[in-house]
Amino acid sequence: MLLDSGLNTSSFSLTSQATSAFTSSSALTSSTSSGSTIPGLGALSGKAILALGKVTLRGAEYIVIQRRLANITSKFPHTGAANIKNIEHIYDDLLELSRRDLYSDTVRDRVLQILLVQIASRQTRHLIKSLNKWPPIEIQIFVSELIAILDPLRLSNTHDARGPVVKAYQASLATWESHSLVPFVEFLSQVAQAHSQVESAILLGGMMEFLLNAYATNFRDPLAETEPGSFHRKSTLQAACDFLLSTLSTRRSSLDIICGHPFHVLWSVRPQLPFTSLIHDREKRRAEVWNSLTRDVVLWRLHSTFDMMLDWTRTYDDSVIYDVCVDLLELTGSSDMEIAVRALRSLHRVISRGRLSAQRSIRRYLSLSSMPHFVEIMSLILSALSRIIFPDSIEAQLFFLRWDDVDFKSNAVLHFIHCFFNIAKEDDAFFEVIYAANILGLLRPFLEMELRGRGNLARHDADLAMVYDEADFDILASIKGNGLENLLPRDWDLPYAAAYRRSVLCRAFDVFMRRGDHHEFPELWHVEWDDLPSGVEGSDYASFWISQDIIGFNPALPGTLSKMDQ
């Protein structure tokens, strides 16, 4: 790959003051006419050129830098084994020309492009050697320049971020690279290993923000032309980031810096990363972190969570599902309606994708939370679900996607109810929470639709969530007198979506109304319930949305059953 050596010098400006002892015009001429460099930091220093005076600057500076950069460009890209004369001094000059505020953006972008091509192709031995000469503060600034170019959130948000520098980096990646950002992360690990004093410099140069954004985007590859979110790509970057963190956290001072940044609370627990296992009140602090981050980062977390659960080829251990569930449960209470509803949609995806893991995670979080806090979370969730039922509501428009079909839209809320009664029948504490949050109020419109034979949900007043009114007593009295199984008999001719809805309602009322000692309706405490159907006669979107919930269900075989309670 050939690098363009043209320079637009019209925007050149220098802001540094002249402090160098390099003041002789003859010395400048000598250095440029021979094509050699002055060894060490500041080989073509802006300070040295400024010492010539502003009049001389306009001509001499441009000539010096143009000639030197053109000479350097002709030697790049190269391999580590290339025999290039004065290669060490060449890298000294490149690093000098990359310095912020001393050279124009045009020159600096050109130099950063040259260096990033070497990083992408993993030919960085000479670059690391030259960086070892720099003080940590200069390395910090240099790292911040690179991170500003390759930040995963910035690259994920817009293609406009992929300017010539990024495109040159991308074009230089080997075909076997599984993730475009791994060479950069591993380069920083090598810098940290080669220089004993730069851990803090790398962290403070923006690396912690880089890691936070990588986590929020679920380590997706923002430069991949196809399958940017594939599991193999993600796991490769995550492993590289874990190794970098283990390298950077060997010193107490570096560990203190890491523990002072929000990302360390979110990072997955790893044995080799002590800061991930020493967090007190980790769940509470995760909620605080997400509430403190920018809206863009939070929305990317929701997007990436939804995206990761679409990958049916990957299984997740409980620790990953638990972190996801904690984040989503807390974000459903966001004052930002879009965040709250999208968190609910992502939670639906997690419940559908990993039902048992999600149920265990919810129970675990309840055991570590205060009862009032968890009642508040569940109340907000049930309140939002009660509005999602109605297709014209803002919540429904945010929750459903354009490709969702009618059956899914009518049963999506029931998928939550399905999950909740499965937990409630096994966990008394969750039963108390979900009951206090008014689960019966959420069940009411579905039950009315089934009992009254309406094809569409009736419109309710603003007190939809208030279950304890005269209409409720009429419905519950009817259930008491006839039994829900008789009121909602099995019908093998029902469409799958309707059969699933009927089965969930029967089972939900079985769970939430036979617990007499908890019930608000004394006259129903001793109702003898007939055996209610415990299987699913059908389901909408079985193979895609809730295939994990109804193992064994075959849409081609009407009436096939599978346990909802397993």
**For the segment 237-296, what is each residue's pLDDT rounded down to a tens digit?**
999 999 999 999 888 888 889 989 999 889 887 777 877 766 677 888 888 899 899 999
Q: Report the C-alpha gap between 185 and 190 in whole angstroms.
A: 9
> Within 10 A of 554 (CB to CB), how many other CB atoms are there?
12
- Cβ atoms of 126 and 187 within 8 Å: the answer is no
Handedness of CA 157, 161, 165, 171 (dihedral sign): positive
> Which residues have a Cβ under 8 Å from the Cβ of 291 and sit 6 or more positions away?
330, 334
The pLDDT, as a whole number, for residue 227 is: 63
Binning pLDDT at 50, 70 and 90, where does residue 500 land?
A: confident
End-to-end CA distance of the chain: 58
**What is the Cα–Cα distance from 558 to 538, expressed in whole angstroms?**
7
Show contacts of 306-315: CB within 8 Å, 24+ apart.
306/345, 306/346, 306/349, 307/218, 307/220, 307/229, 308/218, 308/229, 308/234, 309/346, 309/349, 309/350, 309/352, 309/353, 309/354, 310/349, 311/229, 311/230, 311/231, 312/353, 313/231, 314/231
pLDDT of residue 39: 37
Position 298 confidence tier, pLDDT thresholds 50, 70, 90: very high
Contact (Cβ atoms closer than 8 angstroms) between residue 540 and residue 547: no
What integer pLDDT is reported at residue 325 of this predicted model? 93
Question: pLDDT band for position 453 (50/70/90)?
Answer: low
Of the candidates 161, 66, 148, which has an alpha carbon nearest to the alpha carbon of residue 107? 66
pLDDT for residue 145 is more than 90 = yes
pLDDT at 229: 54
- Of residues 104, 44, 35, 43, the one with CA closest to residue 75: 35
On the 0-12 / 13-18 / 19+ scale of CB atoms within 10 A, 207 is buried
Q: Is the pLDDT of residue 461 over 50?
A: no
Average pLDDT over all residues of the chain:
73
Q: What is the pLDDT of residues 41-81, one digit of tens each?
A: 344 444 444 444 333 445 566 677 777 888 888 888 887 76
Given a cut of 70, whether residue 485 has pLDDT beyond it is: no
Among the residue ranges 237-241, 380-384, 487-491, 535-539, the one predicted with the least confidence is 535-539
- Distance set, CA 27 to CA 33, 45, 85 (Å): 10, 13, 22
Q: Which two tokens stand for residue 503?
A: 């089965």
pLDDT band at 148 (very low <50, low <70, confident <90, very high): very high
Better-scored residue on pLDDT, 511 or 421: 421
The pTM assigned to this predicted structure is 0.74
Helix or strand or coil: residue 245?
helix
Res 566: pLDDT: 35
Please tell me the predicted confidence (pLDDT) of residue 498.
Answer: 74
Least confident interval from 154-168, 320-334, 516-530: 516-530
- Buried/exposed 20-55: b ≥16 CB within 10 Å, e otherwise: eebeeeeebeebbeeeebbeeebbbbbbbbbbbeee
Average pLDDT over residues 213-222: 91
> What is the pLDDT, as a whole number, of residue 62?
66
pLDDT(541) > 60: no
Region 339-357 average pLDDT: 90
State the pLDDT at residue 562: 33
Share of the chain above pLDDT 90, in %: 30
The pLDDT score that the predictor gives to residue 348 is 92
Listed residue (188, 172, 304) closest to 248, CA to CA? 188
pLDDT at 279: 67
Structure token pair of residue 276:
């991930």
Roughly what angle, to the nearest 10 degrees, separates helices 496-513 and 428-436?
100
Of 37, 57, 55, give the one whose Cα is nearest residue 47.
Answer: 57
Cα 217 to Cα 518: distance, rounded to the nearest angstrom: 43
Q: How high is the pLDDT of residue 69?
A: 82
Least confident of 282-291, 403-412, 417-426: 403-412
Is the pLDDT at 132 greater than 50? The verdict is: yes
Q: What is the mean pLDDT of residues 396-406?
A: 88
Say how far apart CA 424 and CA 514 lie, in whole Å: 12
**What's the mean pLDDT in 455-468?**
35
Instruction: For residues 319-343, give the mean pLDDT.
Output: 92
pLDDT score for 515: 54
pLDDT at site 277: 67
* Cβ-Cβ contacts under 8 Å for 155 (sequence gap 6 or more): 161, 162, 166, 222, 223
pLDDT greater than 70 at residue 464: no
Residue 171 clears pLDDT 50, i.e. is over it:
yes
CB 447 within 8 A of CB 533: no
Neighbours of 412 (CB within 10 A): 24
- Give percent of the chain above pLDDT 70: 67
Predicted local confidence at residue 402, as pLDDT? 85
C-alpha 142/C-alpha 129 separation (Å) is 14
